Structure 1
């Protein structure tokens, strides 16, 4: 999930090490399967769930479909955030979407900060202190990575770390929400 289609797609393709999702095409919640260090994984590149025109009903449908595609449920939410475009409204919307999955979605979340469109000296520190991004990182137990120069093995180990911190358990959705 995240606030930039191109960055979400790039992150998913980076994880799978093959172009499973095309650039510029809006994802339709179809899962992509692949192997990551001999482990089968299922990635779901979500549509723009942070757009304010997406109705609550449509959000609930997307969440239910994500849970079905990742049965028994998602293990990790990779939140791909474009820092200069991530607003307080995006943060609030992302929190609401994640809460549709579970009461504890942030326990299963890792923030992947995209490379800014225009890099300037000190950009990493500047964006890490950006209030909406800083708050999201705090909610996710300070689990975050920079996409800049990220190695595949580092991302894999952080995803595994999130799994271990949750004893390998998937997100358990309360169906009475």
Structure 2
């Protein structure tokens, strides 16, 4: 049987349907290809992130066994001890204001940076203890704030003392440092004496050996101490010891040795928060202790205890009678 010829209209419709179908298949193929490409890109991106994290982790672990590129240093001491001048001596320029404003303002916390033998030193100068314009609480809050800005924490505290008689005020400074930051702070501390010209022909170790209080302070700090003279030891002296350049280099070497001996370690903010929590608990117990010292409170507690004993005794007697 002969095929019937396809009318022209139906032929065009079939061609159109086939064309549309081909177009849909092409579009679907493009979508699939795009999805495959996106999937491949996502996998590659994820692999890159994982590899990068592993590399960073490896680098971090390696850095824990070497001296970090940045050493964070915080200076602590009383007003007039030469802290700011010492900071300028270490930094090698007059970045720190030697005289803070008499107004109570946050500018008394000063920070500057220098590079020493391809290593970055970040120094933070704190307000001096016994500052005439600061209350005890204001001083504590500001000193703690200065330290908190050195995240994740300072590598070393420089406790600045003058080469002079160690008085009750210097003892109070050491106690306040411990009160602010816990006894562990001395594991991260170096004592730096200023006004070294007062030593005359002595070395700082000989000066310290003549004072039992100073020996105790240095013992807490692992025997680490250095001396400078911000005014008289700037130029080359007859002997190398009485040179700020020599003493600063020795100080940096001491800090680097401390960091090397405790890889990746510093006085962290978590340590500070834990110490503040312990202090808060201790303060609560101290308040309760003072409260219970009052006569009427002692009487109240005594009566409460006696009543409690009587009640317990009666209940035990009733139970015994019921059993019998």
State the secondary structure of the residue aligned to 1:135: helix
Q: Deviations over 1:117-159 (max 9, x none)?
A: 6444447424542233222111111111122424132121011
Q: Deviations over 1:7-54 (max 9, x none)?
A: 212211121112111333356112222223222222111111255985
The residue aligned with 1:71 is 151
State the secondary structure of the residue aligned to 1:5: coil
Q: Is the 1:63–1:101 Cα contact (8 Å) retained in structure 2?
A: no
Cα RMSD (Å): 2.7
The residue aligned with 1:25 is 100
Q: Is the 1:31–1:43 Cα contact (8 Å) retained in structure 2?
A: yes
TM-score for the superposition, normalised by structure 1: 0.82
Q: Distance in 2 between matches of 1:52 and 1:6?
A: 14
Structure with the bigger RCO (C-alpha within 8 Å, sep 6+) is: 1
Q: Post-superposition shift, 1:166?
A: 3.2
Q: Post-superposition shift, 1:63?
A: 3.4
The residue aligned with 1:164 is 260
Q: Which has the larger radius of gyration?
A: 2
Q: Distance in 1 between matches of 2:243 and 2:153?
A: 30
**Structure 1 stretches lacking a partner, 5+ long:** none
Map 1:58-137 onto structure 2 (within 5 A).
Answer: 58-116=138-196, 118-122=198-202, 124=204, 125-137=206-218
Change over 3 Å in CA distance of 1:44–1:30 after alignment to 2 = same
**Structure 2 stretches lacking a partner, 5+ long:** 1-75, 102-106, 229-241, 280-324
Q: Distance in 1 between matches of 2:167 and 2:134?
A: 17
